[in-house]
Structure 1
Amino acid sequence: MKKEDCFYLGKIVKKYSFKGELLAKLDTDEPDLYDNLDAVFIDLRGNLVPFFIEASQLHKSDLLRLKFEDVDTEADADALIKTELYLPLDLLPKLDGDKFYFHEVIGFTVKDKNFGDVGILKGINDSTAQALFEIDRDGVEILIPMNDEFIGKVDRKHKTIEVNTPEGLIDLYLED
């Protein structure tokens, strides 16, 4: 399994017991969807390794308590702390309407209600306080905040995202 065929589920943050149980912080709005998993992939030095789950249950609101097969001691558990958890993309719940996963809209054409075709969505920068669409317009990068008020419609069939940005925002990137 390759990382590009998977999505990031969360990270193992600490041990829970002396019997090899671990707590993982999940990167999801709906942690209960991942309560009954059979297995996850763990990133061990750049390789995704499958780990089979003996038992799991939600712990507090966003933590998942995990007991993996063959992880029975504190030392086994220590080796997995701070590792990242992944699942295959086909296990992502389907989103409809104007909700989307970042990876599924890369390559979509972004169209602005006033400006017209802006360009092709090359990436999403979510390392800032507000996530940004990174759009390529003939070699010029245009950044548009991923604000619910700006996003009009996500059309999966035609691979387009309609936005309605404040007048002049796109022009700022195109002026010499």
Structure 2
Amino acid sequence: MEYVSIGRISTTHGLDGTLLIRHNLGNKNAFRNIPHIFVEVRRESYIPYFIEEKKGMTEDEILLRLDDVHTVEAAKNLTGKNIYIEEERYAQMKPKGATVNMIGFSVTDKKAGLLGTIEDLFETPGQVLATVRYKDKEVIVPLIDATIVAIDGARRAITVDLPEGLLDVYLG
């Protein structure tokens, strides 16, 4: 089964194990049809949690009470963890403003050749940044119109034209 990252557990809320979730679904009511989430407790180890209660706060924040998480201590063990849903469910939702989940896509630069695969994505105002492991170094690649040459969803590949000297910053 494939999973799509939809956010992160920010902090606890109250004393009953309620969690504040920051998500990228772009809708206050996005969790209406999500019965459960997967929490990445360790790298690529996803534990399912059924949602007992939900309360949308803003377009990118929601309060959740999860099954088997009824104390502050249990909730604190989950803070900072990424949350996921199944790829099929994500595709049905088509969140506004969300890009295709490109984690695992290979990244090739026009000059440097194959850089590696995308390990993580970060959204900042105006751009999406991808982390790629290149020559045993973590490299941050901006995924913006000015750098993207082509995206091949079927081959899970992105071709970029990085600014002169960007890779040298990480390798030097």
* TM-score with structure 1 setting the length: 0.59
Which stretch of the first structure deviates more once superposed, 31-40 or 51-60? 31-40
Which stretch of the first structure deviates more once superposed, 71-80 or 155-164? 155-164
Counterpart code for 2:78:
L
* Kept after mapping to 2: 8 A contact 1:111/1:160: no
**Superposed displacement of residue 39, structure 1:** 0.7
Give the Cα separation in 2 of the matches to 1:64 and 1:56: 7
**Superposed displacement of residue 34, structure 1:** 3.7
Please report the RMSD computed on the Cα atoms of aligned residues, expressed in angstroms: 4.3
* TM-score with structure 2 setting the length: 0.60
Residue-by-residue CA offset, 1:28-54 (whole Å, 9 max, x unaligned): 252443443111122335642211101
1:63 paired residue among 61, 64, 67: 61
Give the Cα separation in 2 of the matches to 1:135 and 1:77: 32
**Superposed displacement of residue 163, structure 1:** 5.0
- Structure with bigger strand share is 2
Secondary structure, aligned partner of 1:154? strand
Give the Cα separation in 2 of the matches to 1:8 and 1:42: 10
Match of 2:117 in 1: 123
Aligned length: 156
* Kept after mapping to 2: 8 A contact 1:120/1:135: no
**Superposed displacement of residue 21, structure 1:** 1.5
For 1:27-38, list aligned pairs within 5 A: 28=24, 30-32=26-28, 33-38=30-35
Counterpart code for 1:122:
G
For 1:90-109, list aligned pairs within 5 A: 90-93=88-91, 100-103=100-103, 105-106=105-106
State whether structure 2 residue 16 is matched by structure 1 residue 22: no
TM superposition outliers: structure 1 runs of 4+ over 6 Å:
141-144
Secondary structure, aligned partner of 2:103? helix
Match of 1:42 in 2: 39
Give the Cα separation in 2 of the matches to 1:148 and 1:21: 39
Residue-by-residue CA offset, 1:134-160 (whole Å, 9 max, x unaligned): 698xx9x99964331232442335666
Give the Cα separation in 1 of the matches to 2:155 and 2:48: 36
1:51 paired residue among 49, 52, 59: 49
* Kept after mapping to 2: 8 A contact 1:22/1:65: yes
Runs of 5+ consecutive residues of structure 2 not aligned to the other structure:
none
2:145 paired residue among 137, 145, 148: 148
Match of 1:78 in 2: 76
Pick closer, same or farther for the CA change 1:134–1:23 going to 2, 3 Å: closer
Q: Give the greater-gyration-radius structure (CA).
A: 1
Which stretch of the first structure deviates more once superposed, 144-153 or 15-24? 144-153
